[in-house]
Amino acid sequence: MRRICTTLLLAATTLGTTLATPALAQTPGESPSAPACVTGAARQSAEPEAQAGNRQIVTEAFNRWQAGGSTFFTDLLSPDVIWTIEGSGPSAGRYEGREPFIERAVRPFVARLSSPIRPVSKTVWADGDHVIVNWEGVGTAQDGQPYANNYAWILRMQDGKAVEVTAFLDLVPYDDVLRRIPAPRPE
């Protein structure tokens, strides 16, 4: 229930809409930034230090990436991460393990860019072992056309690393870069 509720809240936030359901209604006196659908024992069981630590780890990784760093995925992802790209395009799917994800999803895309994707804005929320990041990324494809996309990632953290990630993005521009720009030939 918690994952569904968090996903619904994230989707509504990403789309700039509000959901008129009792499960997502804000409790009187509750912080608007806290997901209202996570209540009672689930909220009380989250350790505030771990929650703040998870948020800080993810925020710092994004800050390094935004400043020009290139080790975001190796810094943040567990070697055994399960990364799911939601959607129905050719790039949607489930990737098991950091290296298979990087080899099958990250490298083929990055190889078609003349300037890498950089986060230009982000908002980070944390709830227990989950961190939600809504961010905008921009880059330039090798044909000179700009690439811009909005992302929403839900990360489940364990021991300072993301062990599960669910990624929401507009797959049309992402897949367009993969379709439009030929893959580099192996040397």
pLDDT in tens, 100-151: 999 999 999 999 999 999 999 999 999 999 999 999 999 999 999 999 999 9
What value does the mean pLDDT take over residues 61-72? 96
Average pLDDT (158-162) is 97
pLDDT of residue 89: 86
CATH assignment, 2-15+48-180: 3.10.450.50
Mean pLDDT of the region 4-24 = 41
* pLDDT given for residue 184 in this prediction: 86
List, as one string, the DSSP characters of the chain: -HHHHHHHHHHHHHHT-----GGGPPPTT--TTS-TTS-HHHHHHS-HHHHHHHHHHHHHHHHHHHTT-S-HHHHHEEEEEEEEE-SSSTT-EEEESHHHHIIIIIHHHHTTEEEEEEEEEEEEEEETTEEEEEEEEEEEETTS-EEEEEEEEEEEEETTEEEEEEEEE-HHHHHHHHHHSPPPPP-
